[in-house]
Amino acid sequence: VDEQGSGQTLAALLKGGRDLSWGAARKLCERGKVVVNGQVETNGARRMVEGDRIAVHLEAPRIRRGALPRDRIVHVDREVVVVSKPAHLLSVPFDAQDKDTLIDLTTAALAQMEGGKKRNRAPLGAVQRLDKTTTGLLVFPRTLEAKRALQAQFRVHSVERSYWAIAHGRVTDATYETWLIRDRGDGLRGSHGKFRRSRAEPPADARRSVTHVRLVEDLGKASLVECRLETGRQHQIRIHLSEAGHALVGEGVYIRDHKGDRIPANRPLLHARTLGFNHPRTGAPMRFEEEPPEDFMTMLATLRRGESPP
The Cα 16–Cα 112 span in angstroms is: 40
AA identity, residue 59: E
> Contact at 8 Å (CB) between 258 and 250?
no
Indicate the SS3 state at residue 102: helix
Residue burial 249-274, b: 16+ Cβ < 10 Å; e: rest: bbbbebeeeeeeeebebbbbbbbbbb
Between β-strands 73-76 and 34-36, what pairing exists: parallel, antiparallel or unpaired?
unpaired
* Maximum Cα interatomic distance, the chain, rounded to a whole number of Å: 61
> Contact at 8 Å (CB) between 40 and 34?
yes
Catalytic residue list contains 131: yes
All residues at 6 or more sequence positions from 283 whose CB lies less than 8 Å from its CB, including other chains:
none
Candidates 77, 95, 100, 131; catalytic one = 131
Q: Catalytic residues, which ones?
A: 131
